[in-house]
């Protein structure tokens, strides 16, 4: 290719990212995500006020009631922006138009990932922005822990997006990839985590288990595992039951999310680079 026709790698990345974001805007996925990120915290805020309930005395309890929904919103965002982004190019044959352009497959891949991350971050920032405004409005304070939680939410979203790209790179159809991504992060892995918890096994290695860091980090000091003792009268025929509430360890969980992100990106990039049109 002549030197004048070459496109620099940063320019390739930005071009693909821009067109992917335009695609999200035109399909109204981004608009739907922003509306959802706006409506959910407003409902959490307004419903207690409408029924006459007072806000918690402790600001961390106030923030937790919002952030505890963040993992669900991130799963929805990852499903909207990451589940079918790779497989759709092959299913809808748009790769015939995309691949002949002077853009490497790595540039296409990372441009798509960056666009998915930006769209997901916009949703997250809208959600946390409303929480911050509410926190300042009711308590005249926006604690630093809320920004820690925002950082963890961003890392969690990046990790799930990388895993969603992995799923998208091995699936043959957009519908199957979308359904599998949503069910895996919303239902399958949480049920797996719950089953291990009942068996008194800490699921520290699960990507969905570590999501509770987002609201646990709002508590000062950061909590540790503790045991619920169930009274005998609630469990007839036994000597009483106990269930351990496992809390993800910060450093271990952050490292685990980074590992999942690197794994998802490395494997899905290799598969995407080798995949052929059929």
Ramachandran quadrant class, 62 (left: phi over 0; alpha: psi -120 to 50; beta: rest): alpha
> 3-state DSSP call for residue 251?
helix
Tell me the C-alpha distance between 270 and 276, whole Å.
12
Contact call for residues 162 and 264 (beta carbons, < 8 A): yes
Query: How many Å separate Cα 26 from the centre of its chain?
Result: 22
Contact call for residues 152 and 70 (beta carbons, < 8 A): no
pLDDT, position 107: 87
109: exposed, middle or buried (Cβ count in 10 Å: 0-12, 13-18, 19+) = buried
Backbone angles phi, psi at 8, to 5 degrees: -65, 155
> 3-state DSSP call for residue 47?
helix
The whole-number mean pLDDT for each consecutive block of 10 residues of the chain, a chain of 278 residues, reads 56 86 92 96 92 90 96 96 86 61 82 96 98 96 97 97 95 91 96 92 95 95 83 54 86 97 96 75
What are the extents of the domains in the chain? 9-274
pLDDT, position 4: 41
């Amino acid at each position: 290719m002549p030197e004048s026709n070459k496109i620099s790698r940063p320019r390739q990345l930005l071009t693909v990212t821009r067109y992917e974001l335009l695609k999200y805007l035109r399909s109204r996925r981004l608009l739907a995500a922003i509306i959802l990120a706006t409506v959910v915290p407003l409902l959490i805020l307004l419903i207690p006020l409408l029924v006459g309930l007072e806000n918690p005395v402790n600001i961390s309890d106030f923030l937790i009631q919002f952030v505890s929904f963040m993992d669900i919103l991130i799963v929805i965002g990852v499903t909207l922006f990451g589940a079918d982004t790779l497989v759709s190019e092959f299913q809808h044959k748009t790769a015939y138009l995309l691949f002949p352009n002077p853009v490497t497959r790595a540039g296409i891949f990372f441009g798509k990932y960056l666009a998915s991350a930006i769209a997901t971050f916009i949703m997250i920032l809208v959600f946390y922005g409303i929480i911050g405004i509410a926190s300042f409005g009711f308590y005249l304070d926006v604690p630093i822990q809320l920004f820690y939680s925002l950082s963890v939410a961003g890392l969690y979203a990046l990790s799930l997006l990388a895993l969603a790209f992995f799923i998208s790179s091995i699936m043959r159809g957009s519908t199957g990839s979308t359904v599998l991504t949503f069910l895996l992060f919303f239902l399958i892995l949480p049920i797996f985590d719950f089953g291990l918890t009942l068996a008194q096994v800490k699921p520290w290695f699960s990507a969905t288990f570590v999501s509770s860091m987002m609201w646990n980090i709002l508590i000062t000091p950061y909590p540790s595992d503790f045991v619920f003792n169930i009274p005998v009268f609630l469990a007839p025929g036994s000597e009483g039951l106990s269930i351990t509430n496992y809390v993800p360890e910060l450093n271990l969980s952050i490292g685990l999310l980074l590992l999942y992100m690197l794994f998802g990106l490395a494997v899905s990039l290799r598969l995407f680079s080798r995949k052929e049109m059929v």
